[in-house]
Amino acid sequence: MLCYLNMEAEQGVLEKIRVLVGTGRYRIRLHAVRHMIEEGFDEGNVVEAVGGGSRVLEVYSLEMRCLLLGYFTVGENVRQPLHVVCDYSNPKVVDMVTAYLPQKPWWMTPGKRGRLI
């Protein structure tokens, strides 16, 4: 279920995720790996997107998951948006459930939903 947290709560969740990822306490799940292979990005790109200037787009509080929008560098002055769904239910590790490049028609822009399936 999609839920919205106040900005302070979102920042707390985001900071928790960044600390875990920054200290190597994360797992990349099979669905994310599938997208990596199909879409041409790698684990380093996912870590960069989460650890940098990412922001929370959606929170699924019952599942203790959130959708992050971050960016990774693909060339000089070129950044690629990346969505990462993180499960933060375990206080010792964050699971990156999936990661994908936001694309039309599902996303009109990296931060704005398009057509739902």
For residue 95, pLDDT over 70 is answered with yes
Q: What domains are there in the chain, each with its CATH number? A: 7-113 (3.30.2310)
Q: What is the structure's pLDDT at 105?
A: 84
**CA quadruple 20, 24, 27, 33: dihedral sign:** positive
Q: How far apart are CA 13 and CA 93, in angstroms?
A: 13
Q: Tell me the whole-structure pTM to 2 decimals.
A: 0.88
Q: Is the pLDDT of residue 62 over 90?
A: no
* Between 109 and 100, the higher pLDDT residue: 100
pLDDT digits 0-9 by tens, 8-52: 667 889 999 999 999 999 999 999 999 999 999 999 999 999 998
